[in-house]
Structure 1
């Protein structure tokens, strides 16, 4: 098992590198293709598309280890050529561009070196590849070499005119630095790592949708807008969302927080079980964000406290109205009903925001539960007495 697991590692790394490298390609080439879209495993490893037609196919090759050399006899070269001969109409001068992207370095004096953008010599590349196709005895490349020779001289030259070799591509461990370099214009001072983590999260989600076929491609304009939206979350009027609803396991949280005061407070007014579970999720997300924002220096304690004070002030007004509706001899059932109505009413009021442009309603809802957990606010008319008793029991 150990040997098999080890032998699979390079392939796994190669697939991961292909997905990550696609983001580099999107960032470095997207500006020149504003109306294009990038796809994964649709036409090729990576491909550019315009108006529903592939405009460039990219084969992405990753090799572990530095200073590896790509030659005209390499299996990578002939496997790639065979893929394109099978699927990319090699003799069609108007066919999509073809790019071999490799972490290896093209050896000097080879056809692959002659197909690099900065050392281009298509006729020399043709001569050298024809020589290898006729003289090599490799069983691994035999089918591809024979197919290449069967194209005919003019078709072979047309084929090579569409090919470029991008060698010395960054290894998987260097891709993150490449992404950071391409996004230097957007990095929020002091929060660079968090911003990049959010970009990577967006890309991983997007790449998964592409690979699963839920999304055909990612438009350059949409990608630019998504990254700009992430950057916008680091302005003075906004905040980044770091824990999405999809990140949370509601059942686990319900078990974890079942004895917390804010949960007990909801039980005291018979809050519906499903909505109670959602309230626990709101509490967790709001509490986690408050801690993370403070740790990342995205918000100050004074600003957060001011928001909490506004929530308490709002609650005091509504709580007083609730008490005013209850008779002096009101029973527990009446108090439960009134408290449930108060809780529902305040959870539906999300006009108060911690910042003007951060208006995700979970945060105001969750912060009310944070305050209820400390006993600053409550829903049942007798919550203060009950909280005091609860704290005595837990002491």
Structure 2
């Protein structure tokens, strides 16, 4: 069964990245809104308005000369001016489209610089659509715009801009984030954080019949720390706690890599082992992200591991001398506990709590270290 639902869903969903794009470009005291003064709009403290309509398509160009989307958009803008919803002298009109196509009327309107250009663009539209009859689906909009309100159309075109994007609308967001000097490897993570927040805020406001507006101050309060940390190349935690039922955790349980066997050798309980698996997975993900984002390099990683190994070796000797009365299992559990609680920095920055334990488990998997006093006899390298 054919359906227009995917295309419609894309159309509505694209307003989220567009709102995010405008927030990233906004200034203090600006307000960005969705479905209030257009699909997406930015209202400045001085009363200037940028009203944007978003048009999308999965297949082709949605803004052809005879498209309803094109003429309905200009009709809505002119109607809003007549109803005094927009101040024509303070409004910029933007039409955003996620697909490019053959140059046509909308491109002529966008490229018009002065009054002469605008009038020429309107005459071009009249010529191209001279065969349009009153029963055509665009006639009611085209007639209202071109024939009945040419004076207002001229003013709209003088403040009009066509913007062509690509796909789902996130390319422009990536560009704006990159301008803030955020490391390349962290851009996608930041987009996910920003997108999740903005969707939640907008949907919650619409659900309680409030205007979906977000101020620059709200956005800055929520994310200024994240951007600062990213620019300083801090060790951001890109992960979340893995639950016991998580597929990746269960995969580790099934294959029983050497670090899990090492934990079993000191009789760790099942629930404790699952928690250690979570730390191992989180540390693995963060390490890859940090290296990809050039936050750390191989030399820094090896130095961090070397310091952990040195601490492990010293604790192992200490326990062997001072805890002779403990059995081998208890000695191993104590060594694991001491190493997990170790505070060790990377580039003078303390990493997320899972990093120490997870890195120790990675070393135990090689195995470079072990927990049981006789680990070297039990586990071959």
Normalising by structure 1, what TM-score? 0.67
Per-residue deviation, 1:87:
7.6
Relative distance call for 1:287 and 1:158 in structure 2 (3 A) is: same
Matched, 1:91 2:80: no
Q: Output one character per residue of 1:319-357: Cα deviation in whole Å (capped at 9) or x when no partner.
A: 3343345344x446xx43x544443343233x3122223
Relative distance call for 1:69 and 1:375 in structure 2 (3 A) is: closer
User: 3-state DSSP class of the match of 1:213?
Assistant: helix
User: 3-state DSSP class of the match of 1:48?
Assistant: strand
- 1 CA distance for matches of 2:21 and 2:363? 44
Report the equivalent of 2:257. 260
Relative distance call for 1:175 and 1:341 in structure 2 (3 A) is: closer
Relative distance call for 1:300 and 1:175 in structure 2 (3 A) is: closer
Matched, 1:370 2:362: yes
User: 3-state DSSP class of the match of 2:113?
Assistant: helix
RMSD across aligned positions (CA) = 5.0
Report the equivalent of 1:213. 204
Q: Is the Cα contact below 8 Å between 2:112 and 2:118 reproduced in 1?
A: no
- 2 CA distance for matches of 1:67 and 1:375? 58
Report the equivalent of 2:72. 79
Relative distance call for 1:341 and 1:249 in structure 2 (3 A) is: closer
Matched, 1:172 2:167: yes
- 1 CA distance for matches of 2:191 and 2:115? 35
Relative distance call for 1:143 and 1:173 in structure 2 (3 A) is: closer
- 1 CA distance for matches of 2:333 and 2:44? 56
Normalising by structure 2, what TM-score? 0.68
- 2 CA distance for matches of 1:255 and 1:69? 50
Q: Superposed, which structure 2 residues align to 1:321-360 within 5 Å?
A: 321-328=318-325, 330-331=326-327, 335-336=329-330, 339-349=332-342, 351-357=343-349, 359-360=351-352
Q: Output one character per residue of 1:169-207: Cα deviation in whole Å (capped at 9) or x when no partner.
A: 23338963784488357275xxx4x35444544444345
* Structure 2: gaps (5+ residues): 206-211
Relative distance call for 1:331 and 1:196 in structure 2 (3 A) is: closer
Per-residue deviation, 1:301:
3.2
* Structure 1: gaps (5+ residues): none
Q: Superposed, which structure 2 residues align to 1:109-148 within 5 Å?
A: 113=108, 118-119=113-114, 137-138=134-135, 140-141=137-138
User: 3-state DSSP class of the match of 1:217?
Assistant: strand
Report the equivalent of 1:183. 178
- 2 CA distance for matches of 1:36 and 1:84? 21
Relative distance call for 1:142 and 1:361 in structure 2 (3 A) is: same
Q: Is the Cα contact below 8 Å between 2:94 and 2:163 reproduced in 1?
A: no
Per-residue deviation, 1:76:
1.4
Q: Is the Cα contact below 8 Å between 1:93 and 1:162 reproduced in 2?
A: no
Q: Output one character per residue of 1:210-263: Cα deviation in whole Å (capped at 9) or x when no partner.
A: 554389537364667644543332xxxx4565x422788862233222222322
Match of 1:286 among 273, 283, 292: 283
User: 3-state DSSP class of the match of 2:83?
Assistant: coil
Report the equivalent of 2:374. 385
Q: Is the Cα contact below 8 Å between 2:344 and 2:350 reproduced in 1?
A: no
Report the equivalent of 2:208. none
Report the equivalent of 1:48. 42
Per-residue deviation, 1:310:
1.1
Per-residue deviation, 1:385:
2.5
Q: Superposed, which structure 2 residues align to 1:311-326 within 5 Å?
A: 311-326=308-323
Relative distance call for 1:306 and 1:99 in structure 2 (3 A) is: closer
Aligned residue pairs total 361
